[in-house]
Amino acid sequence: MHKPYRGRFAPSPTGDLHLGSLLSAVASYLQARQHKGQWLIRIEDIDPPREIHGSAAGIVKDLQALGMQADEAVSYQSHNTATYLQAVTSLLTSGKAFRCSCSRKQLKNHPVYPGSCRKLQTDTCAVRLRVATPQLTVIDQLQKTREYALAKDIGDFIIWRADDLPAYQLAVVVDDAAMSITEVVRGCDLQDSTPRQLYLQECLGLPQPDYLHIPLLTDKNGRKLSKRDNDDPLNQLQPLAAIRLALQLLGQHPPSEISDLNRLWGWAIAHWRVNNIPSRLATDYIP
Ligand code: GLU
């Protein structure tokens, strides 16, 4: 039997919602709504040094103003540290992960971890996942299927940081499973995280969601739009115009006479076509 569709938008609170992240939010929202599934918001606030005060609340408020309602209360990764710790402990106990005391300086000339701590039993430190699978295939609902030589290209990767914080890869995998996410829709900047996450799911015995990565939004010079851009077009737009622009950038063509946000969403849910998303998303280019 088919599992009910559950999607999510998982912003890190490191700035305001910008046009680039809005595209991931809109695409994940429309996928969920078109599948008559549920859509959830998860704030990925496990990196206090990078967090910007007020950003989480601002993002949640903006999503609401833009007409995207989550089906459950917003969740916060900072509340789940005990669960992440449990996962990392089980991986250490089963020997699938190991403690690593290498400093950045020691690893400076090694693009892939050289395995120095694989046999050590030191304490104070980061934890790495032991990568034992040489090859992994990633199937994407929109991008080409990719083969990763996991051991050669990625190597043993960090799942718990030396500053005693859970690593992004671990937290995402644990939460996607706990929230019963069936499809992850996000930007292509995270495409190379997917093989790590699939491998981690395998090690933890967790179900694997489908993945759909949307192209990154760039400005007219081909530069990725970032949260630090002050000239983000989103700043000047009312909700209706912002959603219309997001839809257009995503290759959907809402009729120009729709002048009401609810009606625009109704149209978008009924007409959403993933395959219309262009391979290039740029602020100066509307297909
Ligand atoms: N928190 C990540 C970001 O804002 C997204 C994580 C994900 O969607 O898996 O870039």
What are the structure tokens assigned to 112, written together?
């892939």
**What pLDDT, on the 0 to 100 scale, is given for residue 106?**
79
Q: Is the CB of 11 under 6 A from ligand 1?
A: yes
CATH number for the domain whose boundaries are 81-170: 3.40.50.620
Closest atom of ligand 1 to 176 CA is: 9
**Domain chopping of the chain, boundaries:** 6-79+215-283, 81-170
Q: How far is the CA of 11 from the centre of ligand 1 (A)?
A: 5
How many whole angstroms from 159 Cα to the centroid of ligand 1? 16
| Residue with tokens 């015995």, as numbered in its chain | 205
Dist. CA 123–CA 135, nearest whole Å: 30
* Banded model confidence at residue 3, pLDDT cuts 50, 70, 90: confident
Q: pLDDT per residue over 241-263, tens digit each?
A: 999 999 999 999 999 999 999 99
Q: What confidence score (pLDDT) does residue 2 get?
A: 76
Lowest mean pLDDT among 12-26, 115-129, 230-244: 115-129
Which DSSP string do the residues of the chain spell out, in sequence order?
A: -PPPPEEEE---SSS---HHHHHHHHHHHHHHHHTT-EEEEEE----GGG--TTHHHHHHHHHHHTT---SS--EEGGGGHHHHHHHHHHHHHTTSEEEE---HHHHTT-SS---TTTT----SSEEEE----SEEEE--SSSPPEEEEIIIII-SEEEE-TTS-B-HHHHHHHHHHHTT-SEEEEEGGGGGGHHHHHHHHHHHT----EEEEEPPEE-TTSPBP-TT-TT-GGGG--HHHHHHHHHHHTT----TT---HHHHHHHHHHH--GGGS-S-EETTB--
pTM attached to this predicted model: 0.93
Are domains 6-79+215-283 and 81-170 of this chain identical in fold? Answer: yes
CB atoms within 10 A of CB 149: 13
Ligand 1 close to Cβ of residue 172 (< 6 A): yes
Joined tokens for residue 80 = 């789940």
Query: What's the gap in Å between 105 CA and the centre of ligand 1?
Result: 27
CATH architecture observed for domain 6-79+215-283: 3-Layer(aba) Sandwich (3.40)
